[in-house]
Chain A
Amino acid sequence: MTSWLEKQVPKIVLAPSFFGILIFVYGFIAWTAWVSFTKSKLLPKYDLVGTIQYDRLFASPRWDTAFENMFVFGGLFITIAMILGLLLAILLDQKIRTEGAIRTIYLYPMALSLIVTGTAWKWILNPGLGLQATIQSWGFESFTFDWLINPDKAIYAVTLAGVWQASGFVMALFLAGLRSVDSEIIKAAQVDGIPNYRIYSSIILPSMAPIFMSAFIVLAHLAIKSFDLVIALTGGGPGYATDLPATYMYTMAFSRGDVGQAASSAMIMMAVVFAIVVPYLYSELRAKNDG
């Protein structure tokens, strides 16, 4: 009897977390999914009525903007952060004497809350007293840098701050990847007289495919969840020009009291994350099991 209990201890220890995750992650996703197919408004209702919430969602111009912004912001943010991160990693990989200090400087924004980042950039980018005014005061009277208050440009301001925050981290990922390439392969290539840029483009970068994948996943994940940054930097404005699905969902849930819209927009976010993460997780887990 005691030996039976002894054997069950590991399962008993894991059980609370398992049930916790089951309820608070999967149960809650199911709840939100269910509610997204109801007529819920101020309070959740539970009789299914089909896709009216989604019909409403995609008929709403505000959601259209938010949804489009996710791709504009996400696309730019991921691309720029990746290119910048890779560039900095390659530059830092050239036996730089002060590498440690430079790396520390590039990476520190990742330690900050996006609210802090947003507050700082909001101040820097404000046209009245910020960067625009400073450069104008140097004599460049016609210089304009009004992204923050320009509805067509505000999303780029969000991108700028986002890239500032995350690109150092991408650099660290890539730098670790560059360093993990088998040094004998590189030596062999150098002995063969292959020029440096060819060693990077033909040998090192292709072998870093998994790192590109991880960086992409992390950045995509950050982009889709981005909420704090928009709130702090633009508050979704001007108007709702910089709304993202995350801020839309929050507004519906907590300011407008529209549970149905909140649920359906959350489910769309979920679906997008799903589409990106599941193939990745699947291949990761399969690779692990094979090994």
Chain B
Amino acid sequence: MTDNSTYAPSSRQWQTIALRFGLYAILLLFALYYLMPLFVMITTSLKSLDEIRTGSLIALPRDVTFEAWRVAWSGACTGIKCEGLSPYFWNSVQLAVPAVVISTMIGALNGYVIAQWRFKGANIIFSLMLFGCFIPFQVVLLPMAKMLGLLNIAGTIPGLIFVHVIYGIGFTTLFFRNYYVSISQELVKAAKIDGAGFFRIFWSIFLPLSLPIIVVTVIWQFTQIWNDFLFGVSFSQAGTQPVTVALNNIVNSTTGVKAYNVDMAAAIIAGLPTLLVYIFAGKYFIRGLTAGSVKG
């Protein structure tokens, strides 16, 4: 098809070429649609406020400045305090890491019991947990606020960890259960005859098998918890807020001039951890998304 002097494509082949071209054009157009907000966020965050006011939304920055990033990280105001996003970023880390670890461990054990040690009623318990994944959390906000008060962990990071663990168990259990249920029950039988007990079988046989589903679960839980806003805004107080809540406060803070470049830098900072996870472990991220929905 490269040498037109000896070979001229027929009209039918021209049609195919045109179709392919159109196809790629449409796909590219949509790629631009998805990338445009990210592009705008990045360029805006690198511009000065003056340039933003005078220039165009989609123009590249004339003078690249990281001032907005510095302010977003350590100087922007969330209400009264002006320490930037950094303390809240660490809040989110301190909150997400234990919550992810604990809920994943519980989910692994639960899934192991439900898939491999079936007992009467285990399936009912599983259905109850599964349904717990689907409730709108608004329905538990009020009593949870009261309960955290009773447990004396209201407005604290441990309180938020507790909430995320409780409402994460349903999904983590689902992930591990669906993974373990495809493993032959004969493995447990063989190990029982070998003399191993419940925990030994879990530790020596099932846990070493579980790396892929652990990665999926950890990524899912981390994304969920890091990106959470509802629990964060409902159950935290000044000083213990997670990064999403702080971001929203920065953006909607009414003090001072509207600093769009700082807003964008802050938004990127808040979104960066999950974005990095997606870039470096996208396969597992997608597997979690589809497992969490299709299998539900």
Contacts and interface: CB of A to CB of B under 8 A. Distances in A.
B114 A14 contact: yes
A108 B109 CA distance: 31
Interface stretch (B5-13, B60-68, B167-175): B167-175
A270 B248 contact: no
Contact of A217 (B30, B132, B234, B296): B296
A281 B130 contact: yes
B138 A250 contact: yes
Interface string B36-50: 111011001000000
B57 A124 contact: yes
A133 B173 contact: no
Q: How large is the interface on B (under 10, 10 to 19, 20 to 34, 35 or more residues)?
A: 35 or more
Given A20-B169, A113-B244, A284 B35 contact: no
B53 interface: yes
Interface string A93-105: 0101000001011
Interface in A164-192: 164, 168-169, 172-173, 176
Interface stretch (B76-84, B204-212, B259-267): B259-267
A214 B294 contact: yes
A10 B119 contact: yes
A285 B131 CA distance: 11
A232 B122 CA distance: 41
Contacts of A201: none
Interface residues of A, number: 95
> 7 smallest A-B Cβ distances: which pairs?
A113-B227, A111-B278, A10-B117, A116-B271, A228-B229, A28-B140, A28-B143
Given A14-B114, A249-B141, A134 B290 contact: no
Contact of B247 (A104, A115, A227, A249): A115
Given A109-B37, A115-B267, 7 more contacts: A24-B144, A24-B167, A96-B27, A119-B248, A123-B40, A176-B290, A253-B142
A122 interface: yes
Contact of B129 (A11, A21, A232, A254): A21
Contacts of A112: 227, 271, 274-275
Interface string A263-289: 101110110010001100100110001
A281 B174 CA distance: 13
Contacts, number: 264
A115 B34 contact: no
A134 B27 CA distance: 24
Given A26-B128, A115-B244, A228-B230, A130 B136 contact: no
Given A21-B170, A96-B27, A120 B40 contact: yes
B286 interface: yes
Contact of B136 (A120, A164, A266): A266
Contacts of A157: none
A13 B286 CA distance: 30
Nearest to A225: B136
Q: Among the interface residues A14, A124, A254, which one has the most CB atoms of the partner chain B within 10 A?
A: A14
Interface in B220-235: 223, 226-230, 233-234
Given A124-B37, A131-B57, A32 B278 contact: no
Contacts of B57: 124, 129-131, 133-134
B270 A116 contact: yes
A250 B274 CA distance: 26
B193 interface: no
A129 B285 CA distance: 35
Contacts of B27: 88, 91-92, 96, 102
Contacts of B122: 14
Contact of B134 (A17, A107, A215, A281): A281
B37 A262 contact: no
Nearest to B107: A17
A190 B290 CA distance: 30
12 contacts: A9-B198, A9-B199, A17-B110, A44-B146, A96-B24, A110-B289, A112-B274, A121-B37, A124-B40, A253-B145, A262-B138, A270-B135
Nearest to A112: B271
A211 interface: yes
A91 B21 CA distance: 12
B257 interface: no
A41 interface: no
B239 interface: no
A37 B251 CA distance: 38
